[in-house]
Structure 1
Amino acid sequence: MLAFDTSGPWIAAALLCGGVLRGQSFAETTRGQTEGLMPQLEALLDGHGLGFRDLDLIGVGIGPGNFTGIRISVSAARGLALSLGVPAIGVSMFEVMRDPTGPGAHAQELVSIEAPRGQAYVQHFRYGVPQAAPELIDPEAPPEALRLPVNMRVTGWQAEAIARPFGAEAEPRLIEDIAPRIARLAQWRHDTLREAPERPAPLYLRPADAAPPSDPPPKILD
């Protein structure tokens, strides 16, 4: 299976075969993701003697992150899935922040990722399944409504600050291996789902700070 992400200033990709990471690529870029994504994916596959027709699953990062970048990768994943006749599974950055070796672990976990202006986006997970929509908080003054039942765990950005008022366990974490995590999580979701997955869709948590670009966004295939 192939996984990729362009939700930040990068093009990240990973190739997973039989549950084993076979290869990955990462290119920092603030422009040109539309033109660079497919050649990078083709190069990764070709380097292992594979082509797109050899894939049985697509994993893609759905954000939150850069608006245009998310649209690029999600539309590419949906297009590939449609043309190849294989499933595509979207993986959020909240899921990426969790432990990929135990994706179904932890009964009461609050996952935090960095938001603009020193704030944090948080989402409640129970055994790897989201329990509520993400919300924006001040990590230095988390609202009491975030308190979870016993064995509360906070994972990710500013975990110690968020956990402190609740006496919760904290697991600070910064993510570097984005694409391999997406690959493993998409494979786990595929293996545990009892029905066909929903098509990936961008996860946007705030309006754009700038005016939209004059060029039309990539089309999301239905």
Structure 2
Amino acid sequence: MTPLLAFDTSAAHCAAALHLGDRMVVRVEPMAKGQAERLMGFLEDLLASEALDWRDLVAIGVGTGPGNFTGLRIGVSAARGLALGLGIPAVGVSGFEAAAMGHPRPVTVALPAPREHLWLQRLTDNGAEPPALTLAAQAGEVLHGPDADRLVRAIAEIASSRAATPQPRPAPLYVRPADAAPPRDPAPVLIG
């Protein structure tokens, strides 16, 4: 199943991988902010570099975090919108799954969190335990998450392996609630 476009905006980067079956084209652009403004042009540039168009894609893969709250919303929203507009599946892949790819299970994966903390998740053959936040100094023996290049490559590989089977819509993986205050007004009624 090719070509598949995978991307991640969960940290201070825009990272994308174009999975073409026998090869993968990867681009990473470090950025502390501005992913919302840059992402679509960044993805179009990657597609154009391989003489592809949005209509050539068979699936989308997206990193679901954990990570920066706004970055997660940007990536997941873009993936869901693209999938809906193009009529193709979108597959969400957590940073924990991406980091554990190719490693024997059970394994505990650590991803960086703010203020000298780590997000930890233990992955087993039967699934995953709930993620937890811990001080980096107390983490013990863990598999540390990959850099942006390896992360987006793993997202593309995992998404490619899952795209042919029904998948839930991608959703951000929040390890803790957002810092924003909830709205005071009632939520709008969704018409189904």
Deviation sequence 1:185-213 (CA, Å, 0-9, x none): 2112335xxx410000011112345779x
| Residue type at the aligned position of 1:51 | D
Aligned residue identity for 1:118: E
- CA separation in 1, counterparts of 2:74 and 2:145? 27
Query: TM-score, normalising length from structure 1?
Result: 0.72
Partner-residue secondary structure (3-state), 1:64? coil
Deviations 1:74-114 (A, max 9, x none): 00100111111111011111112123xx3xx5232111112
Q: Give me the identity figure in percent.
A: 45
Aligned amino acid, residue 156 of structure 2: A
Q: How far apart are residue 42 of structure 1 and its match?
A: 0.6
2:62 maps to: 60
1:205 to 175, 181, 184: 175
Query: 1: CA distance between counterparts of 2:78 and 2:15?
Result: 13
Comparing 170-179 and 115-124, the one that deviates more: 170-179
Alignment match, 1:189? 162
Quick one: structure 1 residues 67 and 172, their matched pair in 2 at CA, closer, same or farther if it must change by over 3 Å? closer
| Residue matched to 1:152 | none
- Cα distance in structure 1, aligned partners of 2:75 and 2:118: 24
Matched, 1:8 2:11: yes
In the alignment, the residues of structure 1 paired with residue 113 and residue 80 of structure 2 have an alpha-carbon distance, to the nearest angstrom, of 27
The equivalent of 1:166 in structure 2 is none
Kindly tell me: are residues 90 and 19 of structure 1, through their superposed partners in 2, closer, same or farther at Cα, counting changes over 3 Å?
A: farther
Structure number with greater Rg is: 1
Post-superposition offset of 1:35: 1.6
Q: Structure 2: which amino acid aligns with 1:2?
A: L
**TM-score after normalising by structure 2:** 0.83
| RMSD of equivalent CA atoms | 2.2
Look up the equivalent residue of 2:92 and give its one-letter code.
Answer: G
Q: What SS does the aligned partner of 2:84 have?
A: helix
Partner of 1:121: 119
Other-structure match for 1:175: 147
Letter in 2 for 1:61: G
Distance 1:132 1:117 in 2: 23
Q: Secondary structure at the match of 1:11?
A: strand
Query: What CA distance in whole angstroms lies between the structure 2 residues aligned with 1:40 and 1:84?
Result: 18
8 Å contact 2:107–2:143 — kept in the other structure?
no
| Contact kept in structure 2, 1:97 and 1:175, CA below 8 Å | no
Q: Which amino acid aligns with 2:27?
A: S
Give the direction of change, closer, same or farther, for the CA distance of 1:119–1:30 in structure 2 (3 Å limit): closer
Deviation, 1:117, is 2.2
Contact 2:66 2:174 in 1 (8 A): yes
- Pair 1:77–1:137, CA change in 2 (3 A): same
**Does the C-alpha gap of structure 1 residues 31 and 174 become closer, same or farther in structure 2, counting only changes over 3 Å?**
closer
3-state secondary structure, aligned to 2:115: helix
Q: Structure 1: which 5+ runs fail to align?
A: 143-161, 164-169, 213-221
